[in-house]
Amino acid sequence: MKTKIATDKANVAVDFSRYLAILISSRKTVHIALSGGSTPKVVFDELAANFQADIDWSKVHLYWGDERCVPPEDDQSNYKMTETHLLSKIKIPKENVHRVLGEDDPEKEAARYAALLEDHLPSVDGLPQFDLVILGMGDDGHTASIFPHEIALWQSEKYCEVATHPDSGQKRITITGKLINNAVIVAFLVTGKNKAPKVAEIIHKKGSFEAYPAALVAPKSQKLLWFLDAEAAQGLKTF
């Protein structure tokens, strides 16, 4: 596990964009699972504005680690956010963008997307393997769309599951722990002081960390990265 702490969210975006550009340049083909949320949005803006010349998007395949069960034009759609802030501004082949069909029946779409991942990703240790899974973390310690009340979904034998938001009841499609931990690299992008307590508990394995899905992220490759701003990292000083 490695942590990189920046002064603020904008500089987290710069740090991660530089890292991503180097990673993509080092591989012939790169399969990346994207995350939604406010921090990835800033990252996508940074990539589109300042890294156009550094990334050959033609060799990148983009997927989503989770998606809300809404149409792609809905403001809650992770795909729409990515389209607005990144896809519409870069030159990436349409066939390299593999969105979750959030408008379709959740159970059927979870099965379809699982089959798509199995078909498109290389198989390592008998499982599909992403080169990079980008994750966020909620205030409650959830990651992807696996929430504490459904933490058992992490251990699912399926590649994709249907999750339920604990407050809104909204259905979401999410990849499961077996895919996340089989990735070559997993990177958390976490910012804001409200995330600090969970970041500290998870990284230092203190308190109630075992109740948080984000604490179950442990790639077999041991390549786990935390890109944090100073506010999210402030709790690390207490241990």
Task: Look at residue 64 in the predicted model and tell me its pLDDT.
Answer: 98
Are 135 and 187 a contacting pair, CB within 8 Å? yes
In the block, which residue shows the tokens 């607005």? 84
SS3 content of the chain, % helix, strand, coil (to 5): 45, 20, 35
Mean pLDDT of 36-62: 96
Band the pLDDT of 170: cuts 50, 70, 90: very high
Q: Is the pLDDT of residue 238 over 90?
A: no
Predicted confidence at residue 118, as pLDDT, reads 98
pLDDT value for 227 = 98
Domain span at residue 121 reads 2-125+140-167+187-218+229-238
Position 16 in a domain:
yes
**Taking a C-beta distance cutoff of 8 angstroms, is the pair 171, 163 a contact?**
yes
**Predicted confidence (pLDDT) per residue in 57-84, tens digit:** 999 999 999 999 999 999 999 999 999 9
In this prediction, residue 67 carries a pLDDT of: 98
* Number of domains forming the structure of the chain: 1
Is residue 175, in this structure, part of any structural domain at all? no
Q: Each residue of 222-237: pLDDT tens digit?
A: 999 999 999 999 999 6
pLDDT of residue 120: 98
In the chain, alpha helices (H): 9-25, 38-50, 78-85, 106-120, 177-180, 196-204, 230-233
pLDDT of residue 187: 98
Instruction: Report how far residue 111's alpha carbon sits from residue 121's, in angstroms, rounded to the nearest whole number.
Output: 15
| Orientation of helix 38-50 relative to helix 78-85, angle to 10° | 20
CA 194, CA 205: separation in Å to the nearest integer? 18
The neighbour count for residue 46, using CB atoms within 10 Å, is 22
Q: Is the four-CA dihedral 46, 225, 196, 164 of positive or negative sign? A: positive
Query: Which residues sit opposite 175 in a β-bridge?
Result: 160
- Residue 156 has a pLDDT of 98
SS3 233: helix
In a domain, 103, yes or no: yes
**What are residue 76's phi and psi, to 5 degrees?**
-85, -10
**Structural domain contains residue 73:** yes
174 found inside a domain: no
pLDDT of residue 195: 96
Share of the chain above pLDDT 90, in %: 96
Helices (H) and strands (E) in the chain, counts: 7, 11
Q: Is pLDDT above 50 for 239? A: no
Model confidence at 94, pLDDT cuts 50, 70, 90, reads very high
The pLDDT tens digits for 99-126 are 999 999 999 999 999 999 999 999 999 9
Domain harbouring 162, CATH code:
3.40.50.1360
Distance, in Å, from the CA atom of 71 to the CA atom of 64, rounded to the nearest integer, reads 15
Strand 132-135 versus strand 2-6 pairing type: unpaired
Whether residue 64 lies inside any domain: the answer is yes
Looking up tokens 């501004």, which residue turns up?
A: 89
Return mean pLDDT, the chain.
Answer: 96
